[in-house]
Structure formats: structure tokens, C-alpha cells
Structure 1
Amino acid sequence: MFMESIMKGWKLGLLVGSFGLTSNAFAQQRPNILWLTYEDTSPQFIGCYGNKEAKTPVMDGLAAEGVRFTNSYSTGTVSSPSRFCLITGCRPGRYGTGNHRSDYEIPEFVHGFPEYLREAGYYTSNNSKTDYNHKNHKEMTSRSWNESSNKASWRGRKPGQPFFSVFNVFHSHQSRTMTNPWDYYERQILAHLDVGKQIAETAPFEMPAFYRDSPEMRKHVSRVYNAISLTDQAFGEILADLEKDGLRDSTIIFCFSDHGEGIPRGKGSASGMGYQVPFILWIPEMYKHLTPWGSGVVTDELVSFEDFAATVLSLAGVELPSYMEGVPFLPAIQEKSKKYVFGACDAVDNNAELSRSVMDGRYMYTRVFTAYQPFVRWIPYYDVSDIQHQMRLDYRTGKMNACQKEIMEPRAAEYLYDLKKDKWETTNLAFDPAYKSIVEEMRSALKEHLIQTRDANFIPEYTLASECVKELPYYYRLSDKKYPIEEIVNVAMLSGMSEEVIPQQIAALQADNKFVSYWASVGLFTQRQHLRPYISQLEKILPTVAYPPAQIWLAGSILENEDCRVARKLFDEYLVGENRFLTIYALNVLLEMNMDMANTFVPQLREIEKKYGNNQKRPGVEDMMRIARLRLEGKDFQFDTYW
């Protein structure tokens, strides 16, 4: 009945030409909607998800009266691609917005979904993070929100006007949980957290199994618990304001994080710890008929971030635009309509990465296309931190067990985890014969998804930043001639599989399409330890490869096996050349190349710094140079400012 009355009102608004002209009675029937969003948090660290040491009474209280989701997933593993999906209801794959902090244009037909709410008479406020990850994000922000600032709230609305308000609490961000120095953490977190809610580093909290259970590591992980506890405290203050204003009984509350935990092998990793998010839905009595679940329940309903915008619009009685990809899980969706949800992990801070995942509610299958690097990758925002310093030291000094060492060494090409039985994801089932049929089914589903959506993030950023400036990634990817996605995916899926596929990869190097050639070269770099019998053949092919990013990875593969003059000359030119993207690719290769060969390029690193004045005007190069100097020369670094 509720939805019938909403849709009647929506149609009336359409007839009179404006949602704002519907009756006050209709406006008051529509629910207020509040999003309590927070940063970089996995369910394993929340009390109502089973962590007995966590101090999260506000979230636990919402769950006790509401609905706790155990199968809620972000579409990405870092904030900006995830928030692109949240604001648009579209996955990043079709739009080329998967790389962290992208600046590429998206089609004009894509709008921030709060804009539709405004047209329907809602007051919309955002407090205050945007991070929408595309070129026109400022325009999207202004069109989406009546107010977007650190003072924004529902209190700017007209009397009786329904609202959609977002409060993003920053305390659990990676800057607080690991990146900033300890004295910053004390000022930013401990100084504001009630003493009774603080968790000492000596407390008996559970450590992730992939970390050493040492005093040093426990100190670092205690930051996670306290940062989340302060987040929970802030949520309590917001809800107190809602109660004070007499709005709690008419407001539907979504409480969720933007992706997984802000620690090494969490955020930025294609794993459950990267994708899975805590999500609690609280519905007041007057709107209980909208939910099939009831109160104080746990659901294994499979939901993903593209569903959130669709659900809010449906609750508000607004017709979904055709380009949106999500499926509403309210009002009163009774039957599960999803078999799978999909996740994507792309470049973070110029570390070249591409992995794709599919989840079915129990198992998570991941295909790693850049398996040459570990879960703990060379990323400036991670490697400046004390915890990552400690982990690299423990690895070098042989203090890690097999499980802990695994995340420091090159990854497998495929992973299958049972998320119900293996919450820290320490047992890879992908190569267990007992799970062969599951792996094959999920691999096939993932491949079909990549081809069907024509995932634009298989386009290297070198091309995204040049050709795709004139032709948007969304449209560029639709051309079979420019972007033969099935052929690209087929070649990319050879990466890391076995020595037997090397002849296929070598043949693909010489393909007419540059992206096919690129993914063949990346795949060969992943398997470079097996290339010795093919080096003379690859040396002849190298000068004929027309696409510079492909040449760089191929040159790296050759140099790993033999100090070839042609490969070295070409690699030198790209490393010190003016195109910053090619320099960044070359630095990515250096970070994974064996130390003896990589160290021969230290003079070129110094030449780069001299030639470009420490690269401060070359975005991305400066930070990647810091990482290269750290790995090759042990030269530590700190950021000029922390926030």
C-alpha cells in the first residue's frame, strides 16, 4: 500500500511538472533517509559481527533493533571508485573510473542519484566527503546536494520536507589506523575517545591470522579498534541529534563503511578484507512494512554498492534511470534476485594493479592479472607507515610463519576463499581438486561479466589519459576494433597460469591490437622466471612492439633474465623520459625486478630527480620515486604533511 501511494504521488508530480508540487501529506509519507557512512572498515572489527573486544555499542544497538547484513560488498577496495558507485548507482568498470583518484570524463547522462531526490522534493545534505572519482565531480556535487559541507545536515530543510542526509565519519580512515605517525594518532583519535572506550595494545583482541602476534604488531592493530570506537561514538552523537529533533521515528538509517579495513592486506586488496563491508539497516516502526526481514535479525541477502542508490530512489518513490545497474533491496523485496556480486581492484597511488572478484554469498573467487606483486604492494601511502615498515622488517629477518610470509610474496593467479569458514582468508582453495567445479563456475561467471560489461579498466592509464580525453572511456570501450574485449580478456587470463601458455603469450605480443599486446607483456613479466628458453626470441620481438607500455614490461622480463643492450637502452629511455605515465610503468617494473638488476638503474633514478627537480610537477612520479629509493637504497621517507 505504501508504495502504491508513493507511485500515485510520483505520477501526480510528473503530471504537474514538478515533484515539489505534490501535496504536503504525500511529502510527509515519504521516509527520511539517513546514511551513516564511515571509512575503511571490515566486519571482523565490529562488535555485532562477533568481535567480543570491539567497543561499538551504537552500531551494536542499531543491529539489535534492525537488520545486519552478512553479505554486503563494496564494488571497489579503496574509497574513490567505491564512492563513484555509491553516488551514481553504476559500477566503475564501464566508465574507466576504477583507478584511485581518476579524473576522466563520464557521459552526461550519468547523474548523482541525490539529484533525482531533489527533483522529487527531498532536501539532500552531505557532510561532507565526496571523492566521486571523475572529471566533473564538482558539478555533480552541486547538482546532487542542497548543501555539501562539514556543517550540512537535515536541519536546512523546510518544515515537513523529507530529507536524505549523509554523514561520513572520518575517524576510521587509513590515515588514522596506520598511515599517520603515532603522535598524530594520539591527537586525532585517543585524545577524543572516552577513556572507558579505549582498547589498550595489551588487550586480548584477536589478531588477523596473516599478522605476527607480536607486541609491535599488536600496538599497530590497536589503532584499528580505537579508531572504530571513536567512529561509533560520533554516530551516537548524530543519532542523539536526530532524536532531539523528533525525527528518529520517521527516518530509515543505513550504516556502512566504504570498503574493507585500512590495514595492509585489507584496503586495496582483492580479498574479502578489501570488499566486504559491515552494513546495518535500521527501520522505524512506521516503515516496518517495507522490509521482509523484521527487526533484530541477520540476513545473508547478497547486496553490493550499486544497489544502494537504487534502493534509496525506490524508497522515495522515484523511478530508476535506465543506466543504473543496481537492484533495490527495499521496499519489501521478498526473493533473492542475485546469484553473484562482482568486485574490482585497480591502481592505487600509481601502483599498477588489476584484479577482479566474484562473490556468491559464501565463496569469493579472484582472478589476479598482476600476480607478479604481493598483497603487500609497494604503495607510498602504505609504505610510509610504521606497520608496513615492521612487516617488511619481520619478513627480511625471517620472523614470519608461512601464512604471514604469503602476503609478502608474489600472489597466485587465482584465489578461492570460503568466507563463512575462513574469515581471515588464509586457505586458498583454488587449486584444491575438491573445489574444481566451483572454481570453474565462478571463473566462467567472472569472465562473462568482464566481457559483457566491456570493463574499460583493462585500458592502461597511458591511453586513458591521452586517447580517452577526446573519446570518453565509456564510448571508447564500445569499439570492437579499438577494444576487442574478448580477445583482451582471453590473453589477460593467461597471466600466471603455467609455463605451457608462454608460446600463446609470445604470439599475442605481436597482435595488431595494442591492448592485447600489453596484457601479453604483463603476463610474461608475471612468468619471467620461466622465460630463459625464450629470451633470444623476445629480444628480436622487443623493437617491433609498437605500444610503449607493452615494451616496458617486456624489457623488464628480458632484463630479469639477461642484461640485453637493446632492452636496457629502451628501458632507460622510458625511465628518464618526459611522459610521466611511462616513467611510472618503468618504476613499477623496477619495484618487482630482482635486486641485482634493479640496482643497476639507481644512477637513472638520480638523473630523474636532477632533470625534473624532484618531480614535484609530475603527478605520481614523485611518490613512486620515493618508493623506488626506499626499496633499492633503503632511503626512508616521510610526507611533508599528514591529515
Structure 2
Amino acid sequence: MKPLKSLLCTLLLFVAVNALGDDPRPNILWITLEDIGPDLGCYDLRYADTPNIDRLALEGTRYTRAWSNAGMCAPARATLITGMYPPGIGTQNMRSEVRTPEFVRAFSEYLRQAGYFTSNHDKTDYNWAAPKTTWTVQSKDWFDDGWRRRGTDQPFFTVINIGDTHASQMYWRGEEKYQRRVKELGPKRLCHPDEVDVPPYYPDQPEIRAEIARYQNNISYADGVVGEILDQLDDDGLADTTIVFLFSDHGPGFPRSKGWCFYSSLHVPLIVRVPQAFRQYAPSEPGHADDRIVSFVDFGPTVLSLGGIEPPSHMQGQPFLGEFKTSARRLAFSYRDRMDERFDLIRSVWDGRFHYIRNYFPRLPWFHGQTRYYPHTQASYQVWQEFADMGRLQESTAIYMAHEKPAEMLFDTQADPHELNNLVSDPAYATQLEALRTELRDWQDGIIDLGFMPESMWHERLSDRDSATRYETVRQQPGLYPLQQLRQLADRLPNAGHTAAMLKAFQSDNRAEQFWGGMGLLANHVDNDTIRAELHRQLDNPSPTIAVISAQALAELGETEASLPILLRVLDHDDPLIGLRAANAIDQLGQRARPVLQELVAHEKQLSKLDMREEPLGKQFIHWTLQHTLETFSNQ
């Protein structure tokens, strides 16, 4: 039997090599699912029925430690397309579309230059204005506009995005489609609410179970789409010459997962099938698992490496396959900045077991006023929030409904994958804590993390007409952005013992230092005549961001007469991403902003008349924030 098996393998290899034609390079296909974790049969989770994906895993390699660098689509995809960390080039804020240095290009452009046909079907969401040269074809139709449009013997790189698993399909604009999926799946393939496990941070309620079951059924349906794609690849005679990647853009679209930096937000499935013709690139024998840490910043360089292209030196990812494969990475990083209308600043680092999370705005909660308006109708969120408001949460279900976040968190993701037991104060883990603190700081210094100057302040300083980008500005003018000093100020939040240092920073000539000084005064809740006098003085600061911080701090101290008009003025700023800073401050003030209720109602009505498709995206964010503010007033 062994000689016969060897002969068969040789014949298959001969057929595959001949199918390559004159170009010996592989075709590469990405199949991207949206908003799912490794909730697949091949990962030993059996709620969803995924025979096609499971078969792909049997024919390829299943990665057990694949990491999305962001828990939301746009910053995650910004990482994928550039092979760079968004906080280092300014593309970390959700749907920001900032300018980047000219050398930052989509990795697909390098493939095009090397002779590849490239196509994307259909989602982009890259957080920057990607040029038209990014893809040979950008189309919703993968069947006709995908690899079938390539030239004779031309290798291809095609991305097919499957949106059936997106979070919106659980609670918004998805009911009709979902019922169609249910009918197509049939009763035997459906997951039912009483079958699922409820994560321990949620209250175990019927609405949450129903949503989890719906999520699983959407995965089962998407598996059928995966099967159609793979069958078509086979029918077109390309399966033997195409390396297939299947992965999700980040974790599940549930509260405390999507948009955050938790293990459930970032741990994603990744399957890579390498055909026999390119077995030298295969990470393992078919059907095996690989526990190498890989993260999204590595994917673009890896595709280039498989195409025989050396990744350019500015790319920060490490190829994990192909001609230019590197040694395994030790760490994976993540980031959260503005998510739609809500500001935040979170960074994390994971070593494959221990996960260190740094919350730089601990005064802001995970939910409550920080919940984005777009998904706030989601049943799981509403039930969880309702239980919190009624005081019905206990133990694990109450942890993430707190009104403030701890500045630091450390979790053992092997023993505690739901990240419920914060080990920061446990002396037994002091070594791991300090090591990961240092690793995170070194990474931030290495990329020059741009998140320590708020987005509104970047907009105050740089316009689209400026020749220098944020990346270039901090290198040309290092005094403008002293990262280590800014981080040192951020590390003092919230601690009333540092009030004097925060007041001094608030009086600095450096705007970014002023920002952190002001945030310290807000977070520390210290009140004296000196602080009040300085807050009043800064109401006239030429930086709208500093004026907003001063006004919010004074309003929280009860001085609304002087402060609320400042917030209304900035709310109407020509740049909506500057105005959004005021909208969030008003929303956080709650009932203290009631004296300007009529003005807020008028502003919201004016925004509601606009066609937001024709407006800068920040206008929509302001509208959502004001809607939340007015709903809060009406509920109270």
C-alpha cells in the first residue's frame, strides 16, 4: 500500500504543478467572517453546525492562538490592510479616515505590482482613505468579479467577506434575513436557546440565551456560504493551487466583547489550507493545530511572503508563512480608542497566557453612558443594563457593570478565559505584571503610540491641507508630543495624591500635557479655590478640547452657569469631531446639564433633519450622543 500511496501523491503533485501554468506562485484566498470567536466544530464547540469549515480544518492547519489586534472592524481591518499598528500611524479611531504617510500602502498594492490580480468583495472599512489602486477589482460580486476576471495564468489574491454573522444580524436590520436563514438551515441544524452556555458575566436570562442561539445559527448559515466558495474554487480547477485563509475580523458581537480589548474580543479562529503543490509552506500536516501566536498585523506580510515578495521594512508584522517566514512572535497587542461616538484609551498585551490590560480613562465605565447608541437596542445589553439599574446583578455579572474601570487588569486566560479574576493585586503574579507592563511601554515607545493626544486636539493642530501627517509630525516636532511624559501623567489617574502635579500639567504650554492635567483634575475629584480659579481661566483657552475639560470639571463642581454655555459653543464647532468632545461631556454630566435642555433639544432636532450620508461622519456621532442624553432626561 505504501508504494501505491506514494505514487498517488506524486501524481497529485504533478497535476497541481501543471495547473500552475507559467507562474509558479500560489493563488491566495481570504474568507473573512464577521464578529465571531472560535465557535466552530473544529475548535471543539458544537453549538453551530459547521461541516464545511471543519473539513477545511481537516485539510489544513487550525491556529489556536490567533489574535485580532482590535475588537472592532475598522481598526482591525486598518491593521490587516497595512501590516502596521494603527496607533502608530493615526488610524486607530473608529471610522476616522485620516491621512497617513505616503509610504503606508495597502499590502495588496505590492501584490498588484508583482503581477497578481487582486479583488475585494466587498467590505473595506480601513479607517483611512485607501487609494483606488488598492484593488484590481472592488465589487460585491465575488463569483463574476473575483478570480474569474484575472488574466491567463495570472495568480490572484481574493478577499471574500461574509456578513451574515455580523452583530447587526442579531438586533438590527436582520430579522427578515435571519428568518430566511432559519428556513434554509432546517430544524435539525438549528441551535436552540436552552442548549447554549451563557458566559458568567451575563445574567442567565431568556433574551440572552435567544441571542446566543441566533449567533450560533448565523454561523451555521455562514458555513454554507463558505462551502459554496470552496466548491466553486474546486469547480474552477483552482483548489490545488490556492492557499486558503479563513478567519474572523474580531470576536463575537456581544456586549463586553465587540469593541473591547478582552480575550473574547480578540481571540479569533484562523484556518490555513496549503495545497500539496506548496507543501513547503504548510505550517503542519493536514488536520493539525498550531499554537504559534499570530496577530492581524502579521497577515499582510505573510501574504506577501507567500507571494515571494519581501515585506517592506516599515511593516511591523512578522510573516508566519512563506519564503520570508520569521520566528514566532512572543506577544500580541491590542488597542481601543474612540469607538463611534464614545472616547476611550485602552491598550493590552498578551503573551499567550497572561493578558495585561491598561485602562487609561478609569473614570469611564464599560457601559452605562459609554454604550454606543448604534447597538444599545441589542437584547443582551438591554437586559444586562436593566438588571444593573435594578440592583439585581451579583458577583460575576456585576463586574463589568461597575461605574468605573480599574486602571490595570491582569488575567490568566488559560485558567480564566472569561477574565473575571483580576490578578493585579495578587503578589503571586507580581513578576508577570511588571514584565507585561514593561513590554507594553516598550511597544508604545517603539511605534510612538499617537493615542495620548486626543483626536479632537489632533484636529485642532492638523488639517487635511497640512503636508505633514500625525506620524510625521511627532517625528519632526518631538516636543509637541512627549510620549513618555504624557504616559506618566496618564499613569497618575485616578489618584488624588497627584493633584498638584496634575494642576501643574494643566498650566503647561504643551496642549497634550494640558489635556492629561485636566483629565487628572476631572478624575481626582479634588476641589479648592486654586483649582477652581484655574478651571475658570482655562474656559477661554484657544483649544476647544481644553475649554471643554474645564467646563465639564466646573459643571461637576456645581458651577453650571459659567460652564454650560462653553459646552454649547463647542458642540456647534465646524469640525464635528471637536464638537463630539462637548457632546460627550454634556452626556456625562447627566442632570447637571438640564439647564440647557431646550438648547439640546433644538440642536438634536436640527441634526435629525440632515441627510447623514451627505455629512461628515462626526455629525452622526454627535446626533447619537445627544439622543442618548435626551433619552436619559426623559427616563429620569
TM-score, scaled to structure 1: 0.88
**Counterpart for residue 110 of structure 1:** 104
Aligned residues: 601
- 1:457 & 1:490 partners in 2: Cα distance? 14
Distance 1:184 1:543, change over 3 A: farther
- 1:457 & 1:427 partners in 2: Cα distance? 28
- The amino acid across from 1:383 in the alignment is H
Structure 1 position 149, deviation (Å): 3.4
Structure 1: which 5+ runs fail to align? 1-22, 636-643
Alpha-carbon displacement from aligned partner over 1:501-555 (angstroms, at most 9, x marks no partner): 3332222211221111112222333343xx2xx3422211113333321332343
**Which of 237, 251, 258 is matched with 2:242 structurally?**
251
- The amino acid across from 2:251 in the alignment is G
Paired residues of 2:178 and 2:218 also in contact (CA < 8 A): no
- 1:306 & 1:27 partners in 2: Cα distance? 32
**Which of 543, 554, 563 is matched with 2:536 structurally?**
543
Paired residues of 1:252 and 1:281 also in contact (CA < 8 A): yes
**Counterpart for residue 263 of structure 1:** 254
Asked if residue 495 in structure 1 is aligned to residue 493 in structure 2, the reply is yes
What fraction of aligned residue pairs are identical, expressed as a percent? 31
Alpha-carbon displacement from aligned partner over 1:33-53 (angstroms, at most 9, x marks no partner): 11111111122x222223232
Structure 1 position 443, deviation (Å): 1.2
**Secondary structure of the structure 2 residue equivalent to 1:114:** helix
**Which of 427, 439, 456 is matched with 1:462 structurally?**
456
**Secondary structure of the structure 1 residue equivalent to 2:356:** strand
**Counterpart for residue 163 of structure 2:** 170
Distance 1:582 1:310, change over 3 A: closer
- 1:185 & 1:200 partners in 2: Cα distance? 18
Bigger mean CA deviation after superposition, 115-124 or 571-580: 571-580
- The amino acid across from 2:545 in the alignment is P
Structure 1 position 188, deviation (Å): 6.0
- 2:550 & 2:265 partners in 1: Cα distance? 30
Distance 1:194 1:523, change over 3 A: farther
Paired residues of 2:399 and 2:420 also in contact (CA < 8 A): no
Matches within 5 A, 1:362-511: 362-376=353-367, 377-409=370-402, 410-468=404-462, 469=464, 470=466, 471-478=468-475, 479-496=477-494, 498-511=495-508
Paired residues of 1:99 and 1:346 also in contact (CA < 8 A): yes
Structure 1 position 573, deviation (Å): 3.5
- 1:271 & 1:215 partners in 2: Cα distance? 24
Asked if residue 327 in structure 1 is aligned to residue 318 in structure 2, the reply is yes
- The amino acid across from 1:623 in the alignment is W
- 2:244 & 2:607 partners in 1: Cα distance? 51
- The amino acid across from 2:182 in the alignment is L
**Secondary structure of the structure 2 residue equivalent to 1:52:** coil
Distance 1:606 1:307, change over 3 A: same
Paired residues of 2:261 and 2:346 also in contact (CA < 8 A): yes
**Counterpart for residue 216 of structure 1:** 207
Structure 2: which 5+ runs fail to align? 1-17
Structure 1 position 577, deviation (Å): 5.5
Asked if residue 512 in structure 1 is aligned to residue 517 in structure 2, the reply is no
- 1:536 & 1:301 partners in 2: Cα distance? 57
Structure 1 position 244, deviation (Å): 1.4
Distance 1:231 1:481, change over 3 A: same
- 1:216 & 1:544 partners in 2: Cα distance? 50
Matches within 5 A, 1:9-48: 27-43=22-38, 45-48=39-42
**Which of 568, 571, 575 is matched with 2:567 structurally?**
571
**Secondary structure of the structure 2 residue equivalent to 1:481:** helix
**Counterpart for residue 628 of structure 2:** 627
Structure 1 position 69, deviation (Å): 1.4
- The amino acid across from 1:296 in the alignment is G
Distance 1:579 1:333, change over 3 A: closer
**Counterpart for residue 348 of structure 1:** 339
CA RMSD in angstroms comes to 2.5
Asked if residue 95 in structure 1 is aligned to residue 92 in structure 2, the reply is no
- The amino acid across from 2:281 in the alignment is L
- 1:612 & 1:133 partners in 2: Cα distance? 24
Asked if residue 133 in structure 1 is aligned to residue 127 in structure 2, the reply is yes
**Secondary structure of the structure 1 residue equivalent to 2:164:** coil
Structure 1 position 335, deviation (Å): 7.2
Structure 1 position 564, deviation (Å): 5.4
- 1:205 & 1:303 partners in 2: Cα distance? 29
Paired residues of 2:305 and 2:323 also in contact (CA < 8 A): no
Paired residues of 1:555 and 1:571 also in contact (CA < 8 A): yes
**Counterpart for residue 15 of structure 1:** none
Paired residues of 1:264 and 1:388 also in contact (CA < 8 A): yes
- 2:41 & 2:593 partners in 1: Cα distance? 46
Asked if residue 286 in structure 1 is aligned to residue 238 in structure 2, the reply is no
